[in-house]
Amino acid sequence: MFHKEGSKIIAIALGLFTIGLLTANRFLEKGWLFYLIAATLIVLLILILQFFRNPSRIAPNDAGVIVSPVDGKVVVIEEVFEKEYFKDKRLQVSVFMSPLNVHVTRYPGAGEVTFSKYHPGKYLVAWHPKASEENERTTVVVKTEKFGEVMHRQIAGALAKRIVNYAEEGDAVAQGGESGFIKFGSRVDIYLPVGTKIAVALNQKVKGASSIIATV
């Protein structure tokens, strides 16, 4: 299954793939150059399809846990001062997505959306220290039953040129439900209350909606 955000890009890619293959077939003999072009087109098409796949995920539906909002690798676990909304110290857990990861963003916990804001910005590499403050990003806060307000922030990277955010203030959302999509990668930060028990380690690979990030 592919995500709706990729429908236009996938259609364009399929069209270009077909035109490229037909053109190569018409003007080139079935030699090494033809097969090289065909192989390159196939690889590029597969990569684009990889970007927009949307596998079915079943969240634990447990108010006592926070799940990963995306697929990727945990690259940050630290206490920070969150400037935009909380304006106090929070535990930050960041998950970096490679171009081959699923790019659907999901709600870490169930509750009510209390804040949702889009910020235009730069496209620094996702691991840059200032990426969370200067890159294109969206900030979403959900008031959960047991963790209070939990923030997740989609951050664009050097490749990502568009962030899609579905969250609207006042929405009642389910754990693991779709919160948005980052086209062509980057990272998502989760901000939790200080003292929350973190259930992952640095460099651990996680899956959106199913891997448990934190517990009460």
Enzyme catalytic residues:
186
Rounded Cα distance, 92 and 143, in Å: 17
123 beta partners? none
What strands lie across the sheet with 212-215, from one edge to the other? 65-67, 212-215, 197-198
- Name the burial class of residue 80, with classes exposed (0-12), middle (13-18) and buried (19+) by CB atoms within 10 angstroms of its CB: middle
- 72-82/88-97 β-pairing: antiparallel
Per DSSP, 64 falls in state T
